[in-house]
Structure 1
Amino acid sequence: MKVLTANRLIDGEAIWYSAGQAWSETIVGAEIAADKAAEEKLEAIGKAAFAGNFALDIELIDVQLVDGAIIPVRLRERIRAAGPTNRTDLGKQARSTTAAIA
């Protein structure tokens, strides 16, 4: 399973493509690609976001579902989803919706 992630160009914020044709600042609700066709669809969305100067560093990342929560497989992506590791009172990890990711 994979989800589409990027960094928003205007402020560098890590974002994920969510179901409903929108980008979100949290991985919660990210659209999950379970097959090659779905991955290709997300890749096309990422290319359009890059071409439209909306986002950069666009990539599909591996995720797993744990008790219904989307958890990135790689540590780097878990940190991007949860926020900085040096201050738990700031960033995404301070939001209750991302506490379970880290």
Structure 2
Amino acid sequence: MARAFTPKVVTANDLIEGDVIYMTADDSWTRNLAEAELITDEADAQIRLLDAQRQAVRVVGAYLADAKPGLNGPEPTHFREDFRRTGPSNYAHGKQEAQANV
């Protein structure tokens, strides 16, 4: 028996800078998960993933990540995605330098 579809966001890494990025509803990319498009239809999710994978000059490793609606936009449902959105863990740089992530 197949699992029921749960909401997703398209995520990848920026090819040049390596940052975690998320696809928005207007086909652009953002480093802020709250600005990502929350996809609630399985067929739409597959199409959006294919759109992302075609952007190989901009992104690498695109995939669908489970998410849920939040007060300010999509929120992760799995520890891995929550960890990815805060940036590298080896020392404070990038997203971890921002006061909002402390």
Superposed displacement of residue 60, structure 1:
0.3
Is the alpha carbon distance of 1:44 and 1:95 closer, same or farther for their aligned partners in structure 2, counting shifts above 3 Å? farther
So what's the TM-score if we normalise by structure 1? 0.77
Structure 2 segments unaligned to the other structure (5+ residues): 1-6
1:64-90 Cα shifts (integer Å, max 9, x gaps)? 123344211121111111223465x64
Q: Secondary structure at the match of 1:49?
A: coil
Superposed displacement of residue 10, structure 1:
0.7
Q: Which amino acid aligns with 1:92?
A: K
Structure 1 segments unaligned to the other structure (5+ residues): none
Task: Specify the alignment match of 2:17 in structure 1.
Answer: 11
User: Using the alignment, how far apart are the partners of 1:48 and 1:26 within structure 2?
Assistant: 21
Q: Which amino acid aligns with 2:63?
A: E
User: Is 1:70 equivalent to 2:71 in the alignment?
Assistant: no
Show structure 1 runs of 4+ deviating over 6 A.
none
Contact 1:26 1:92 in 2 (8 A): no
Q: Which amino acid aligns with 1:76?
A: R
Is the alpha carbon distance of 1:8 and 1:95 closer, same or farther for their aligned partners in structure 2, counting shifts above 3 Å? farther
Percent identity (aligned): 29
